[in-house]
């Protein structure tokens, strides 16, 4: 079970007792570069799955059971087995390099919770927009949002079982994604695939950030 400790600044953080300490956790003269990433997309596209797959700590999830009250708002035709939905955010952490720590914030996908996005993206270096080829139109709100606020983003097509396979360039054309923005195919359930997606975003965000 995770336990809470305080760092040198008195800020509480959670530590997994089974997790091997990183050098920056034991050497107070070395401070890691902490970076915030947002994972966005439509309802049921795999945001919680991605955060859970890569997080090296027990992820914080705000999942609530779906009820009849959501029937008029949520299309379950392509996700008939979905029983819960994120109502606030998902949160996880992953150390990509010795001194590079990513904090992941998954946004709620339902429109009635979009008011939280402004707070979740504050301070982020970039965003992963997850897409489902069966419901590409569902990621347009996220694309429009990040375009309007100027936050670097990439598009990651989460390959669901039974969904049609498309090349990244076909998805780019369908979504009218500019040529300089990476579009990739991934599987949010696979840790290595999710990590590759995050690395792609970090590289793109660095390239997009003025020196």
pLDDT at position 162 is 82
Strand intervals (E) in 75-125: 84-97, 100-106
Residues 126, 205 contacting (CB under 8 angstroms): yes
pLDDT at position 61 is 64
Type and span of the H or E element at 64: strand 60-65
pLDDT at position 101 is 92
pLDDT at position 143 is 96
Domains of the chain: 31-208 (3.40.50.300)
Provide the residue-wise pLDDT of the chain in tens; the chain has 211 residues: 444 443 433 333 444 545 566 554 566 555 568 899 999 998 889 999 999 999 999 887 655 454 454 444 445 455 445 444 444 578 999 998 777 899 999 988 566 556 678 888 999 999 999 999 999 999 999 999 999 999 999 999 999 888 888 999 999 999 999 999 999 999 999 999 999 999 999 999 999 987 6
Residues 107, 47 contacting (CB under 8 angstroms): yes
pTM of the predicted structure, to 2 decimals: 0.74
From 35, 39, 22, 2, select the one nearest 209 (Cα to Cα).
35
Strand intervals (E) in 66-139: 84-97, 100-106, 126-131
pLDDT at position 205 is 96
How big, in percent rounded to 5, are the helix, strand and coil portions of the chain?
35, 30, 40
pLDDT at position 211 is 62
């Amino acid at each position: 079970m995770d336990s809470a400790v305080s760092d040198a600044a008195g800020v509480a953080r959670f530590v997994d007792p089974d997790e091997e300490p990183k050098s920056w956790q034991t050497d107070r003269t070395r401070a890691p570069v902490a970076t915030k990433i947002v994972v966005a997309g439509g309802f049921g596209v795999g945001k919680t799955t991605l955060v859970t797959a890569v997080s090296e700590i027990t992820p914080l999830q705000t999942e609530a059971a779906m009820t009849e009250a959501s029937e008029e708002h949520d299309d379950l035709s392509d996700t008939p087995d979905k029983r819960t939905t994120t109502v606030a955010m998902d949160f996880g952490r992953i150390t990509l390099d010795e001194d590079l720590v990513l904090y992941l914030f998954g946004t709620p996908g339902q429109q009635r919770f979009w008011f939280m996005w402004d707070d979740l993206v504050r301070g982020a270096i970039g965003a992963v927009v997850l897409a489902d080829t069966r419901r590409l139109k569902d990621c347009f709100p996220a694309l429009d949002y990040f375009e309007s606020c100027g936050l670097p983003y990439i598009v990651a097509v989460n390959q669901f079982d039974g969904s049609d396979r498309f090349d990244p360039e076909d998805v780019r054309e369908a979504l009218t994604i500019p040529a300089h923005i990476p579009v990739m195919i991934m599987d949010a359930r696979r840790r290595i695939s999710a990590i590759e997606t995050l690395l792609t975003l970090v590289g793109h965000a660095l390239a997009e950030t003025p020196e």
